[in-house]
Amino acid sequence: MADLHFELVTPERLVRSEDVYMVVVPGTEGDFGVLAGHAPYMSTLRNGDIAIYRSGMSDTPERIPVEGGFAEVNAQGLTVLAERADTPA
């Protein structure tokens, strides 16, 4: 299965830009998982963790806490525009 192109950006910097298997995004009306080939979708975010599954469901997901913002899914992939994202790096 083709990988999902995932980008996480904050006003300060581009946090992640990579191809992954699945990303679970904390939407205002509940979490939603995005795989490659997802239908066009747009949602606001609540504060919570984004979970990134690198290669498959059995992965331990990488969790990135984010605050506010938007997620957009289009033909190119998933773009998360967060107001803040706390990553160690």
Partner 1 sequence: MATLKSLKGRIASVKSTQKITKAMKMVAAAKLRRAQQAAEAGRPYAERMGQVMESLAGKVAISDQSPKLLAGTGRDQTHLLVVCTSDRGLAGAFNSNIVRAARRQAEELIAQGKTVYFYLVGRKGRAVIQRLYPKQIVHQFDTGAIKQVSFADAQEIAADLIDRYITDGIDIVHLLYARFQSALVQEPTSRQIIPVPRAAEGIAASGGADAGVEYEPDEEEILAALLPRNIAVQIFRALLENAASEQGSRMTAMDNATRNAGDMINRLSIQYNRTRQAAITTELVEIISGAEAL
Residue type, 37: G
Provide the minimum distance between the beta carbon of 17 and partner 1 in the complex, in angstroms, as a whole number.
Answer: 8
Q: Which structure tokens are listed for 87?
A: 């990553």
CB 9 within 8 Å of CB 15: yes
Provide the minimum distance between the beta carbon of 60 and partner 1 in the complex, in angstroms, as a whole number.
Answer: 27
Residues interacting with partner 1, by CB under 8 A?
7, 9-14, 17, 27-29, 39-44, 70, 72, 74-75, 79, 81
Residue identified by tokens 């992954």 is 20
Residue 22 or 71: which CB sits closer to partner 1?
A: 71
